[in-house]
């Protein structure tokens, strides 16, 4: 497997590639778990001159701006909703790069409020594409999820739509227009509202409430996530989905890693939850190029330019969380300590 396209190590050079304009960056969902990681990277490692954190809740902006590391002259906070196309257009003025993380992401909440999930994750993406094009933004990189692969939940279905909208938008852009790429990944260690902070909180009561012990999930640390975004920026050809080859772990292993002394109550999967996730589907296999640490799913639209580097994968290939490298309890503990440090929110 070729590795010439693999990203630098986390401590390596993660500066932005040359971008037209003054290199200003807009991070939608800039006050969220992923958004904060991206802001920290942009401010600490790239020398960016202007970065805008865009999201709705003023309290999250207030809290962000209270933190010393975010009291940076390049950082601007902007209250706005991606459902509001006029506000998005204002946010995109003079922007070279958009990192799109804003989303509704909780499976049960999206399941109970599909029309709201549609408005944010689908309609918000349509607004984002139009605003980026009209503002002459050079690059857009959007965050997707394993739940978009053969989706069984509303959240996954809306993120699949987001992917398809961006891939088609890239096709429409041609050589000169905005380039749209996607990073599809598994669970970010320690992200807000995820199972890890929930287990951490339950640990103090001595009882962990576990959906299903055999359930498996992919994991990515904050530092790996930043490197993956950087890789898309360096290597993305447009209309592509980058998929890091992530390890996974069983939920009972995660519970053991966090609270070995705690009792376990099995509560069963919630509506829309799968036992195992997949980062790629068999239908995508013919379009996948494999590199040492990641896969690239090339666009499937007629007339798309397809990259020729990387290895092909076998017919029917799928990257599933129960068939990949499963982390041991010790490995999960190590990942938790490195991952939560990188996230730091
Ligand atoms: N966390 C994971 O494990 C994971 C895994 C795979 C993919 N992803 C994807 O990664 C992205 C970020 O996830 P995350 O965990 O960082 O989420 P998060 O912590 O919940 O942050 C989401 C951010 O988006 C903002 N937002 C939500 N709705 C918005 C709207 N309508 N307009 C503007 N801003 C809005 C939120 O702030 P306000 O609510 O104040 O607006 C917040 O800043 C999502 O696209 C998600 O699908 C996450």
Q: Which of 213-222, 230-239, 299-308 has the lowest mean pLDDT?
A: 299-308
- Would residue 99 count as lying in a domain? yes
- Would residue 231 count as lying in a domain? yes
Residue 120 alpha carbon, nearest atom of ligand 1: 31
- Would residue 201 count as lying in a domain? no
Structure tokens at 98: 């958009």
Q: How many CA atoms lie less than 13 Å away from 187 in the CB half-sphere?
A: 27
How close is the Cα of 1 to the center of ligand 1, in Å?
33
Task: Look at residue 153 and tell me whether its pLDDT is greater than 60.
Answer: yes
pLDDT per residue as tens digits for the range 163-206: 999 999 999 999 899 999 999 999 999 898 889 999 999 999 99
User: What domain range includes position 231?
Assistant: 25-187+220-245+280-317
How close is the Cα of 32 to the center of ligand 1, in Å?
6
Contact 280, 149 (CB under 8 A): yes
With 0.85 as the threshold, say if the pTM is over it.
yes
- Would residue 163 count as lying in a domain? yes
Nearest to 17 by CA among 236, 196, 305, 172: 236
How close is the Cα of 237 to the center of ligand 1, in Å?
25
At 340 the pLDDT is 56
Contact 91, 66 (CB under 8 A): no
Tokens 């804003």, residue located? 102
pLDDT bucket at 107, cuts 50 / 70 / 90: very high
Task: Look at residue 345 and tell me whether its pLDDT is greater than 70.
Answer: no
Task: Look at residue 9 and tell me whether its pLDDT is greater than 90.
Answer: no
pLDDT bucket at 338, cuts 50 / 70 / 90: confident
Contact 46, 57 (CB under 8 A): no
Reduced to 3 states (helix: H, G, I; strand: E, B; else coil), residue 135 is helix
- Would residue 132 count as lying in a domain? yes
At 193 the pLDDT is 84
Structure tokens at 82: 């991606």
- Would residue 196 count as lying in a domain? no
Q: What is the mean pLDDT of the chain?
A: 94
- Strand ranges inside the chain, DSSP E: 25-28, 51-55, 75-79, 97-100, 139-145, 179-185, 187-188, 207-210, 216-220, 241-244, 248-250, 263-266, 288-290, 294-297, 311-312
| Euclidean distance between CA atoms 88 and 186, whole angstroms | 27
Structure tokens at 312: 């092909």
Pocket of ligand 1 (CB under 6 A): 28-29, 31-35, 55-57, 60, 81-83, 101-103, 105, 120, 124, 143, 145, 159, 185, 187-188, 191-192, 194
SS3 content of the chain, % helix, strand, coil (to 5): 40, 20, 40
**Which residues are part of the catalytic machinery?**
147
Q: With the C-alpha atoms ordered 165, 171, 175, 180, is the resulting torsion angle positive or negative?
A: positive
What's the CATH code of the domain at 173?
A: 3.40.50.720
Residue 53 alpha carbon, nearest atom of ligand 1: 43
pLDDT per residue as tens digits for the range 218-252: 999 999 999 999 999 999 999 999 999 999 999 99
pLDDT bucket at 6, cuts 50 / 70 / 90: very low
Residue 82 alpha carbon, nearest atom of ligand 1: 32
pLDDT per residue as tens digits for the range 20-56: 999 999 999 999 999 999 999 999 999 999 999 999 9
- Would residue 232 count as lying in a domain? yes
Nearest to 274 by CA among 324, 335, 322, 325: 322
Tokens 């922007």, residue located? 95
At 305 the pLDDT is 83
At 310 the pLDDT is 98
Q: Report the percent of the chain where pLDDT is more than 70.
A: 95
- Would residue 6 count as lying in a domain? no
Contact 93, 137 (CB under 8 A): no
Count the domains in the chain.
Answer: 1
At 149 the pLDDT is 98
């Amino acid at each position: 497997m070729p590795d010439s396209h693999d990203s630098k190590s986390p401590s390596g050079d993660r500066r932005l590639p040359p971008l037209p304009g003054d290199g200003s960056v807009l991070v939608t969902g800039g006050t969220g778990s992923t958004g904060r990681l991206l802001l920290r990277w942009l401010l600490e490692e790239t020398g960016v001159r202007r970065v805008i954190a865009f999201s709705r809740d003023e309290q999250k902006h207030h809290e962000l701006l209270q933190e010393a590391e975010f009291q940076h002259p390049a950082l601007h906070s902007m209250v706005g909703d991606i459902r509001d196309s006029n506000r998005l257009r204002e946010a995109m003025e003079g922007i070279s790069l958009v990192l799109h993380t804003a989303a509704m992401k909780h499976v049960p909440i999206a399941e109970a409020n599909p029309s709201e999930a549609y408005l944010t994750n689908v309609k918000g993406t349509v607004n984002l594409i139009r605003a980026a094009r009209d503002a002459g933004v050079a690059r857009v990189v959007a965050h997707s999820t394993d739940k978009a692969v053969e989706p069984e939940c509303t959240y996954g279905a809306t993120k699949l739509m987001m992917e398809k909208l961006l891939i088609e938008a890239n096709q429409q852009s041609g050589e000169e227009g905005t380039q749209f790429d996607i990073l599809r990944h598994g669970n970010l260690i320690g992200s807000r509202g995820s199972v890890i902070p929930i287990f951490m909180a339950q640990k103090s009561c001595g009882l962990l409430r576990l959906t299903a012990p055999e359930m498996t999930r992919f994991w990515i640390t904050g530092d790996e996530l930043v490197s993956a975004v950087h890789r898309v920026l360096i290597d993305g050809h447009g209309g592509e989905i980058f998929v890091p080859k992530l390890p996974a772990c069983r939920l009972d292993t995660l519970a053991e890693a966090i609270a070995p002394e705690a009792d376990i109550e099995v509560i069963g999967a919630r509506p829309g939850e799968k036992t195992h996730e997949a980062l790629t589907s068999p239908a995508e296999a013919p379009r996948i190029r494999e590199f040492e640490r990641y896969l690239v799913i090339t666009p499937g639209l007629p007339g798309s330019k397809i990259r020729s580097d990387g290895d092909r994968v076998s017919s029917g290939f799928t990257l599933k969380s129960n068939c990949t490298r499963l982390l041991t309890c010790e490995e999960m503990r190590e990942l938790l300590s490195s991952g939560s440090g990188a996230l730091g929110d």
